[in-house]
Amino acid sequence: MAYVIGNDCVACGTCIDECPAGAISEGEIYAIDPDVCVDCGTCADACPSGAISPGA
């Protein structure tokens, strides 16, 4: 189950630097590619705004 980025994201880029799988893309909004995400949770641990959580 891939992680997701919620509305609390402040687009700081911390998660992109921390993702070992390269699953996070930057754009108008940040997004996690569920096909690439390895469900490690590193991005959620690194997120200073708590905007990343396990997907449903």
Q: Considering the entire predicted model, what is its pTM? A: 0.89
Task: Work out the average pLDDT over 6-28.
Answer: 94
Q: In terms of residue numbers, what domain contains 14?
A: 3-54
Q: What's 43's domain CATH number?
A: 3.30.70.20
CA angle 25, 49, 56 (to 5 degrees): 65
CA-wise closest residue to 22 among 45, 43, 52: 43
Which string of DSSP letters, residue by residue, matches 12-56? Answer: -SHHHHH-TT--EE-SSS-EE-TTT-----HHHHH-TT--EEE--
Average pLDDT, the chain: 94
- pLDDT recorded at residue 56: 72
Residue 8 DSSP one-character state:
T
Task: Give the chain's domain count.
Answer: 1
